[in-house]
């Protein structure tokens, strides 16, 4: 077995295989692409500063805003070695350039992971650095599991879709709403999308007013905030391993997560798997809320593309 391609990954999929789509399609065109880099990636200075001398490093994921995630492990840590499973030995180092940090700072994700970790399996925050130019680095521990869009799970799509639903239910039940200091409310999201805190956003006032007026009754939980398929990690035994990419975690309607999770399953796996997300969650589809929260999500895509 190639030691650079371990059987379990926490975070982005292996660089082998085709790129993956990180979320549902925009209403106005194709989705933003995220996935393993297809070209050589230079390791930024800020990332190198967070590494050990003997670390082996490779870029494993690029998001649509230009952020790069690197996987770092000690040179001695092969998949079968004790060092491989030692806490903090294998790390994921997320680099965010200034323009991406201005949209969704990694500091948000760091504080949300620290809050959520006592209640549910998420990576441990090991380090966070903010540079003078506004770029950021977030270093986290690995979770032993594969992303739901890993080639293995794309070969077992029905099972993966069910686990995504089960995992989302676990998350919602584990995180205490009354203790959560973060929100992901409709009004907050629309304020950012209309220019109140999201650079480049341009959602028309008429669309904001319509979405606010048509907001459904709330069934509050602590939502993931980006419940797309790549952000659920699954064990080799087909159970939830944990969740990643928690920069938007906050109190909101459970359907704000569910509607996007099921749409992402369709986009990543093809048609015919959405119902398994709802079955795994243990809920009957609420089509009115599904439609509403997908419109809200897609409004974000349109605002960012203006």
Active site residues: 226
| Long-range contacts of residues 266-271, Cβ cutoff 8 Å, at least 24 apart | 266/24, 267/21, 267/23, 267/24, 267/25, 267/31, 267/229, 268/20, 268/21, 268/148, 268/149, 268/154, 268/228, 268/229, 268/230, 269/154, 269/157, 269/160, 269/161, 269/229, 270/157
Q: Which of 207, 231, 297 is nearest to 260 (CA)?
A: 297
Question: Tokens 């230079």 map to which residue?
Answer: 42
If one counts every other C-beta atom within 10 angstroms of the C-beta of residue 158, the result is: 11
Structure tokens at 188: 């907050």
Distances (CA, A) of 176 to 41, 47, 224, 251: 40, 34, 13, 9
């Amino acid at each position: 077995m190639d030691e650079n391609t371990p059987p379990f990954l926490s975070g982005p999929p292996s660089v082998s295989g085709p790129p993956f789509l990180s979320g549902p399609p925009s209403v106005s065109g194709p989705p933003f692409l995220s996935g393993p880099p297809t070209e050589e990636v230079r390791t930024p200075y800020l990332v190198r500063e967070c590494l050990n001398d003997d670390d082996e490093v490779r870029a494993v994921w690029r998001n649509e805003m230009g952020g790069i995630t690197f996987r770092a492990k000690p040179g001695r840590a092969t998949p079968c070695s004790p060092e491989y499973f030692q806490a903090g030995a294998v790390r994921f180092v997320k680099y965010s350039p200034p323009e991406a940090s201005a949209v969704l700072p990694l500091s948000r994700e760091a504080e949300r992971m620290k809050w959520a970790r006592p209640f549910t399996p998420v990576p441990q925050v090991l380090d966070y650095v903010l540079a003078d130019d506004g770029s950021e680095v977030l270093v986290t521990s690995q979770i032993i599991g594969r992303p739901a869009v890993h080639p293995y799970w794309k070969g077992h799509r029905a099972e993966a879709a069910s686990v995504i639903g089960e995992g989302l239910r676990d998350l919602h039940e584990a995180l205490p709403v009354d203790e959560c200091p973060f929100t992901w409310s409709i009004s907050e999201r629309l304020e950012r999308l209309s220019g109140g805190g999201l650079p480049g956003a341009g959602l028309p006032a008429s669309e904001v007013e319509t979405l606010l007026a048509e907001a459904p009754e709330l069934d509050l939980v602590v939502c993931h905030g980006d419940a797309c398929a790549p952000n659920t990690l699954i064990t080799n035994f087909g159970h939830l391993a944990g969740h990643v990419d928690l920069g938007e975690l906050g109190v909101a309607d459970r359907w704000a997560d569910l509607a996007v999770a099921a749409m992402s399953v369709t986009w990543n796996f093809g048609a015919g798997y959405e119902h398994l997300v709802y079955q795994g969650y243990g809920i009957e589809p609420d089509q009115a809320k599904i439609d509403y929260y997908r419109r809200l999500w897609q409004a974000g895509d349109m605002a960012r593309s203006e």
